[in-house]
Amino acid sequence: MKRSKSYTGIDCARLVFAFLIIAIHTSPLAVASDTADFVLTRVIARTGVPFFFMVSGFFLISRYTCNNGRLAAFIKKTILIYGIAILIYIPVNIYNGYFLTDNLLPYIIKDIVFDGTLYHLWYLPASALGAVISWYFVKKLDFTKALITAAALYIVGLFGDSYYGIIENIPMVKEFYSLVFQVTDYTRNGIFFAPVFFILGGYIAENRGKFPLGINICGFVVSFGLMLAEALMLHSFNVQRHDSMYIFLLPVMYFLFSCLLFWKGRRFTSLRTLSLVIYIIHPMVIVVIRMCAKLLHIQEILISNSLVYYMATCFLSLITSSATLYIWNMYKPPVTKHSKERERAYIEINLGNLEYNARALQKLLPEGCQLMAVVKAEAYGHGGFGIAANLERAGVTSFATATVDEAVKLRKYGIRGEILILGYTDASRVHDLKKYRLMQTIISSGHVKKLNQQGICVKAHIKIDIGMHRLGIPVNNTDEVIKIFNMKNIDVCGMYTHLCCADSLEPENILYTKGQINSFYKLAYTLEKRGIKMPALHIQSSYGILNYPGLKAGYARAGIALYGVLSSPGDKTVADPGLRPVLSIKSKVVLIRELEKGESAGYGRAFTAGRNSRIAVIPAGYADGIPRSLSCGKGNVLINGQSAPIAGRVCMDQLIADITDIENVKTGDTVTIIGTEESGTGAAEAACNSGSISNELLSRLGTRLPVIYS
């Protein structure tokens, strides 16, 4: 079941909590019992606003963020809604005499920034401010430290709220809170209150399923019982300045929200906006109900009976909000979302296969050897952010890129593991290496001297050339390697090499590779004998792991194998972990044409029907990364589980396939262009047919194809 199916509980709970918030402002049980009403409105209903903060955090706050665009969009939307709400309630504020207040300008600024221009609108500025604080806490500190920091702010706010009576007689502390209350009327705001719930929501999103349902239910029951006792005790001692913040509100919300994720089924996304509109509009409904009751002389029935008053407010708020949304949906501009059904062509990434491959490769390595995921070139065309984020969630803590910009991008995405740059980085960019905690490969003696001269400590791995004669210090130049270890501004964290023919099982190549391995180990042994403490070593890339799995090292770099394919379809390996392809390219049949014998199709009439034929037009071409060299039958696609040869030339944006021998093909049918080896559409086979290898084919996929994760 897809993750989105886990959101049914969140969707439905939105409406419940919206009605609970209305209870705070209508006191439905006051007609029966003050204690019962206190429990409902000042304890149970106090979970409402934290729930909505957590929902926002659940979908927004993550250490894995492509850029600040998501945050900016959330802030923009929240401020827009806030602005509209302020305008809506101007008549109510005029009626209440709001604009007759002394020192009006600073009062308005304070309300707009913190307290809201009407009592319930504080939620919107708190959302905007809380989102910003939470976002940067998580980005800079990671979840655990961010949660601790936000909890500390919450505790500060707690003593300005439910626990104020405990500290109001402590002079210095009281003076501090007096200053706070000059800026904001309450500590339940975007600084002290909202951040902890935003981060808690994000933490649950990153660690969902941590506890089974039974433990979450027990946790909720126990923590709610403790919160109830806490609230009643504080109320009885009359120490509450306000009653929004309780110590046990935090575990209550954690366990409650976690329970809701177990409610799976159909999505009710419309409830998201409906609940927000109800929240914003219900005070206006209260004003209308009270006015109508006064005009009709039915206050005794409609207002004095608080339960009827509450139910009338809920009902009219629901009706009014639904009508508002109905009108809005009629005129709002359409929103484009990527989906398999809507796209002309797309890359599909199977995250389950990715995690399987990572585990399978790790099992081949000896104890103490970590898998280093090579995610250069957008993770070989799979999408750098999505791949790295999901691997880190699965426990991979080391990554490798080809360039410093690729590495910086991953840091900005939120990747916190080690990142090694495998290629050249100009010495002038040492500030980026330091700022983003990156490790740089030393490619030559001249390169390392320039890095050292910058006066900034650089974490580095020394590349050793053992016969590939590309990058690295020659393996026999021991003295030069020792100099690098002793350089003032070079912190050597690793030493590695690259096997140039580890993919071959030919006897002479096996002999050559073993000689390379021995020469690298010999260098390491010599360095140790000369007093150099060895850092982590790594020798293997993908084929090194598969053909020489037992090598003792600190890391093993997994590139193409991590993505479930080999470079060429006929490659044999010593180890066969049953790798599964992660990527597939899919499109659809958009047009079917009938050709009579002798008719041609495509550029240059490269396809001529040798019989009465049917061809399918597929909207994907070489601009999407489909090699043009697969034209004229050199490549195949899969339709309805059967192989269809590519007919004629692959165009920039289209290709055609001969479907004469496939029955029941119709427009809209899914077409697999790159898939599995078993189907004949594997990346290695397609690459081979185009005169290349899968590494090149995948890393050159067009950037215009949307990536859809499954």
Locate tokens 């006051």: which residue?
30
CA dist 562 and 580 (Å) reads 9
**What number of residues does the chain have?**
710
Annotated catalytic residue within 376, 463, 586, 588: 376
Show the tokens assigned to 193: 């209150």
CA dist 170 and 214 (Å) reads 43
Q: Please give the backbone phi and psi of residue 592, each rounded to the nearest 5 degrees, phi first.
A: -120, 130
Contacts of 533 (CB under 8 A, 6+ apart): none
Task: Give Dmax (Cα) for the chain.
Answer: 102
Show the tokens assigned to 532: 């150099």
User: Which amino acid would we find at residue 598?
Assistant: G
Give the start-end residues of each E strand in 295-359.
345-349
Q: At what angle do helices 478-485 and 507-529 cross, to 10 degrees?
A: 50
Helices of type H across 453-551:
478-485, 507-529, 542-547
User: Which amino acid would we find at residue 468?
Assistant: M
Cα 25 to chain centroid distance, Å, stands at 37
CA dist 589 and 656 (Å) reads 9
Contact 496, 374 (CB under 8 A): no
Tell me whether residue 522 is one of the annotated catalytic residues. Answer: no
Tell me whether residue 603 is one of the annotated catalytic residues. Answer: yes
- DSSP, res 188: S
Contact 575, 546 (CB under 8 A): yes
3-state helix, strand, coil in the chain (%, to 5): 55, 15, 35
CA dist 81 and 128 (Å) reads 11
Contact 162, 250 (CB under 8 A): no
CA dist 472 and 489 (Å) reads 19
Distances from the Cα of 41 to the Cα of 99, 309, 429, 498, angstroms: 30, 14, 58, 66
Q: Map residue 209 onto helix, strand or coil.
A: coil
Q: Give the pairing type, strands 636-639 and 642-647.
A: antiparallel
Q: Please give the backbone phi and psi of residue 50, each rounded to the nearest 5 degrees, phi first.
A: -55, -35
CA dist 323 and 377 (Å) reads 49
Phi-psi region of 577 (alpha: psi -120 to 50; beta: other; left: phi over 0): alpha
- Count CB-CB contacts under 10 A for residue 205: 19
Helices of type H across 168-212:
171-183, 194-206
> What order do you get walking across the sheet with 636-639 strand by strand?
591-595, 613-618, 655-658, 642-647, 636-639, 670-674, 583-588, 345-349, 707-709
Locate tokens 């933490």: which residue?
203
CA dist 249 and 253 (Å) reads 6
The string of DSSP codes covering 364-432 is HSPTTPEEEEE-HHHHHHT-HHHHHHHHHHTT--EEEESSHHHHHHHHHHT--SEEEE-S---GGGHHH
Dihedral sign computed on CA atoms, order 113, 117, 118, 119? positive
CA dist 92 and 284 (Å) reads 8
- Nearest alpha carbon to residue 637 among 608, 650, 708: 650
Distances from the Cα of 666 to the Cα of 24, 339, 516, angstroms: 58, 20, 56
Residues annotated as catalytic (active site), given as ranges: 376, 603
